[in-house]
Every structure is written in structure tokens, then in C-alpha cells.
Amino acid sequence: MKRTLPFIIVAAVALLTAGAGTYFYTIKRAANPPLLMAKAGNSAAGEIVHALGPENAPVTLEEFGDFQCPPCGKISEPLNALQKKHNIRLIYRNFPLPNHVHAKTAAHAAEAAARQGKFWPMHDLLFREQLVWSKVEDARPLFQAYAGMLQLDLDRFRSDMDSAEVQRKVENDKRRGESIGVKNTPTIFLNNQALPANELDPDHLATFVETAVKNAKPSS
């Protein structure tokens, strides 16, 4: 899918500001999965976890990512493809880095979208449009435009972005990462084992996942 051109985004912002209606955006993922509750031991009890794939999948990838991190953006679609191809469990956790000025706000936007059932479409859109919003001085108007494209309630979206609950969710994700040694993004765990940071490219990720899927299958 072509990356949305910057002038289209600017037009969307202008229309949203004027209350002229909502833009529609085609998202590859046809249906957004429900929010899933974390298992005890994986997260704080009762914490919402953003995950694709079956909970009992034999292979789980857990990514700690930053929406403004270029390497995270490069592996976003390959991870989606691996999840669909092998029906693995894919978990995303926020780990905004302080050197990325819009990273935390982007995480808040994703979590605000999650409260309307659109975490994964917003996740995909933020990574797909990373080169656009990461270069502007104030990214919030673009995030609001993206929310409009996803047909979210914009008043609720803006309120949720600034809510204590959303900010707490992002901080909890980051604390979880720090507690298990995460320092940079992307950091990916395959069945609770950290993958080498220098091998988080699409080809190596595919090899890691395919090997794990093969080893998980019962021998005939």
C-alpha cells in the first residue's frame, strides 16, 4: 500500500478541524481483535495486552517498540505477515525512547485508539506514516487526523490521549520492559527468549519464527 502523501494528511487535518466530516482509510487488517487480558506472570494482573493470534499458540513474539523508531517501522509489516502466515501470537508493548520527541505522544494515540477497539489499525497507520508525523513540530493534529480516518469518536480520542489511564498503560509497558532488561527498540522476545539485536531484520525474523514453528510441531 502506498504511503499516504503529506498533503493529503494536511487536508485531512483541515477538514477535521472544520468539522467537515471523517476521512476513510483502508486498513489491511479487516477486523480489529478484542483487547486481551494478560496471563499472570506475563504482566500485571488484569492488565490489557495488545495481541494477535491465539493465546495458546506454541510460538509467541513479544515486541517492545517505539512508534518513532525507524527499525521498528521497518519490521512492522514483516511481523504482521509472519503472524498471519504462521498464526503465531504477536504482542506489542510500548517502549517510547526519550530521544524521540513524538514517541510517547504516538503511544498515547495508539492507546487512545485501543479504547475504541482500534489499536492495531492505529498501530499499523502510525508505522506506515512514520516519515510524515515524525518530522513535524506538533504531531497531535496528525494523530487526530488518523483517528478521523479510522472513524473514531474524536472528542473521546482527544480526551483519552490525555487521560491518566492511557498514560499509565504506556508507563506500565515501559516498566515491564525495563524489569526484563529492555533498553532499546525494537527488542523482541521469542517464547520469552530475547532475539539478537543485530538480527532483527525481516529475513532473520522469518528464520527465527519458522524454526520455532517447526520445532513446536509434534514429531510424526
Residues 53-59, mean pLDDT to the nearest whole number: 95
Hey, which bits of 142-184 come out as E strands? Answer: none
Could you report the per-residue pLDDT of 121-179, keeping only the tens digit for each? 999 999 999 999 999 999 999 999 999 999 999 999 999 999 999 999 999 999 999 99
Cis bond upstream, residue 196 (ω within 30): no
CATH 3.40.30.10 fits 6-29+51-216, yes or no: yes
Calpha distance 84→100 (Å, rounded): 30
Among candidates 95, 60, 108, which has minimal Cα distance to 179? 95
Q: Which three cell numbers mark 7?
A: 498533503
Does residue 115 contact residue 166 with C-beta atoms inside 8 Å? yes
Could you report the per-residue pLDDT of 72-125, keeping only the tens digit for each? 999 999 999 999 999 999 999 999 999 999 999 999 999 999 999 999 999 999
Fill in the amino acid letter for 63: E
Q: What are phi and psi of 81, to 5 degrees?
A: -65, -40
Does residue 74 contact residue 206 with C-beta atoms inside 8 Å? no
Place of cell 509467541: 60
pTM: 0.81
Mean of the per-residue pLDDT values for the chain?
A: 85
Fill in the amino acid letter for 38: A
